[in-house]
Amino acid sequence: MIWNKEAECMSREEMTALQSERLVRLVKYVYDNVEFYRRRMDAAGVKPEDIHGIEDITKLPYTTKDDLRDTYPFGLFAAPHSDIVRIHASSGTTGKATVVGYTAADLDVWAECVARCLSMAGVTRNDIIQVAYGYGLFTGGLGAHYGAERVGAMVVPMSTGNSKKLTTMMVDFGATAIACTPSYLLHLSEVLRDNDMLDKIKLRTAICGAEPWTDKMRTDIEGRLGISAHDIYGLSEIMGPGVACDCEYHSGLHICEDHFYPEIIDPKTLEPVADGETGELVFTTLTKEGIPLIRYRTKDLTSIRRGVCECGRTSVRISRFSGRSDDMLIIRGVNVFPSQVEAALIEVEEVTPHYMMIVDRENNLDTLEIQVEIDKKYYTDEIRGIERLTKKIAGVIQGALGINAKIKIMGPGSLKRSEGKAVHVIDNRKLI
Ligand code: DLL
């Protein structure tokens, strides 16, 4: 195990002192290097000299995903482009992605944080780990990859997709660990079972995240595969996977709080809530150079717990996530906003703005159907015309969301109109 005891088992006083020192440095850094923050802080009447320690954090303004979108692509970068060595991106609320940049030092911190999380899941240099998060702009693949290399494990960079190949290699290589989404791991357990391979695997531990899941689902996965499964959390804006993870006691996710300072607020009043109460998680990146964020509203709902864990770590813990305060969906590990579908459909002349997204789960894989209402002008019951239009819309949606959706063309006026706020999503997935 690589336990960074110095960071993970600090006394509260030491941690507060470290966070305070880092916050003071961060605030000066962003004020000097990011015009957006200089303006925001000026507008809020707060200067770097007003921040003396972590207790002053509430004087600082919040940052949101919209701020990233409005400054697309690089407006919030604090380091010069010549110092940025990697870019990642995730879905924005409409057409534009939110883009994040890392300096070499940021990548080093990231690998360290993921390595801490993998160590919580019991991964060591003796493990063979299949990384089955997507590699590419999504942070999951490369994030888990470099963390696993930092631990010294043997990394198999599978990425997502080919379950047959993955399960065959799992057996042939004797993989002992896997990093992937929990729903995909459930699916893999079925592929293994259907191919009589369950008793041939050497899997011991799994590091699952990037989408909501439950303790019941964890114990289900553990029972089916005879492994221990761990919950890893993160978001690209803050870093990627590795912001927090749960240890063998599964009593909350330990935050790497020497790098990410957490607050829980009421999403309506924006006031802090008491420990143990559910609210929106907010992070300040204490050490990031590429794109440091102050009081970033994650929209993820959770509660915070303090006190020493049975494992010995002293870091603040968050509970399993109970949802989001916005309408973001996670479909096959990909973040999807209904507004992205809306923005994409506007480009298709033949359809009206009425649409419905139906999300479901078949064999533990998410499915998305989008019902789209055709404009009266273009309505025809000619099959070939409908097929052509279906294909066209599927292409537009794939381009906008990055995932395939089944498109169902509906006749004019056939989608139910809502009397209040329009309902665009039916999510039939039941988190067991
Ligand atoms: O999902 C990073 C990641 C990759 C985390 C691999 C864990 C493993 P984004 O694509 O930016 O980044 O999506 C971030 O996903 O705000 C949550 O809503 C959700 N999410 C991530 N991990 C968990 C989790 C990656 N363990 C968004 N439980 C976040 C529940 C999660 N939701």
CATH code of the domain containing 197 = 3.40.50.12780
Tokens of 78: 């604090």
pLDDT value of position 79? 98
pLDDT at 374 over 80: yes
* pLDDT classification of 2: cutoffs 50, 70, 90: low
Instruction: Based on the fold, state whether residues 36 and 129 are members of the same structural domain.
Output: yes
Q: Any idea what the CATH number is for the domain that residue 348 is in?
A: 3.30.300.30
Asked if residue 265 and residue 197 are part of one domain, the reply reads yes
Give yes or no for residue 242 CB within 6 A of ligand 1: no
For the Cβ of 231 lying below 6 angstroms from any atom of ligand 1, the answer is yes
Indicate the residue among 290, 325, 360 that finishes a domain.
Answer: 325
Residue 183 Cβ contacting ligand 1 at under 6 Å? no
Q: Is the pLDDT of residue 1 over 70?
A: no
pLDDT in tens, 116-169: 999 999 999 999 999 999 999 999 999 999 999 999 999 999 999 899 999 999
Residue 252: the pLDDT is: 97
User: Quick one: 287 and 374 in the same domain?
Assistant: no
Q: How far is the CA of 128 from the centre of ligand 1 (A)?
A: 24
Q: Give whole-number Cα distances, 319 to 110, 150, 189, 279, 327, in Å.
A: 22, 27, 26, 11, 21
Does the beta carbon of 211 lie inside 6 Å of ligand 1? yes
Q: How far apart are the CA of 11 and the centre of ligand 1, in A?
A: 28
Dist CA 238 CA 287 (whole Å): 11
Residue whose CA is closest, atom 21 of ligand 1? 210
Q: Which of 325, 360, 382 is the last residue of a domain?
A: 325
pLDDT-derived band at 74, boundaries 50, 70, 90: very high
The pLDDT tens digits for 381-431 are: 777 788 999 999 999 999 999 999 999 999 998 998 776 677 899 999 977
Residues 361 and 308 in one domain: no
Mean pLDDT over each residue of the chain, to the nearest integer: 94
Q: 298 CB under 6 A from ligand 1? A: yes
pLDDT tier for residue 94 given thresholds of 50, 70 and 90: confident
pTM of the model: 0.93
Do 252 and 376 have their domain in common?
no
Could you tell me the distance, in angstroms and rounded to a whole number, from the CA of residue 241 to the centre of ligand 1? 7
Q: How many domains does the chain have?
A: 2
Q: What is the pLDDT of residue 154?
A: 98
Identify whether residues 97 and 202 lie together within a single domain: yes
pLDDT digits (tens, 9 = 90+) for 80-90: 999 999 999 98
215 and 134 both lie in a single domain: yes
**Ligand 1 pocket, 402 CB below 6 A?**
no
Query: What is the number of the ligand 1 atom nearest to the C-alpha of 138?
Result: 10
Indicate whether residue 147 lines ligand 1 (CB < 6 A).
no
Final residue belonging to a domain, choices 274, 295, 325 = 325
Residues 167-185 pLDDT 10s:
999 999 999 999 999 999 9
* Residues 405, 303 share a domain: no
Give the pLDDT of residue 353: 80
Confidence of residue 432 (pLDDT cuts 50, 70, 90): low
Counting atoms of ligand 1 from 1, which one is nearest the CA of 320?
A: 28
**Is any atom of ligand 1 closer than 6 Å to the C-beta of 234?**
yes
Task: Give nearest CA residue, ligand 1 atom 6.
Answer: 140
Average of per-residue pLDDT across 253-269: 97
- Assess whether pLDDT exceeds 60 at residue 259: yes
- Do 318 and 415 belong to one domain? no
- So what's the pLDDT on residue 52? 98
Q: Are residues 194 and 255 in the same domain?
A: yes
Q: Ligand 1 pocket, 265 CB below 6 A? A: no
Full domain range(s) for residue 411:
329-431
Q: Do 340 and 216 share a domain, yes or no?
A: no
Backbone angles phi, psi at 90, to 5 degrees: -135, 175
9-47 pLDDT tens trace: 999 999 999 999 999 999 999 999 999 999 999 999 999
Query: 214 and 167 in one domain?
Result: yes
Residue 380 in this model has a pLDDT that exceeds 90: no
Q: What is the pLDDT of residue 267?
A: 95
261 band by pLDDT with thresholds 50, 70 and 90: very high
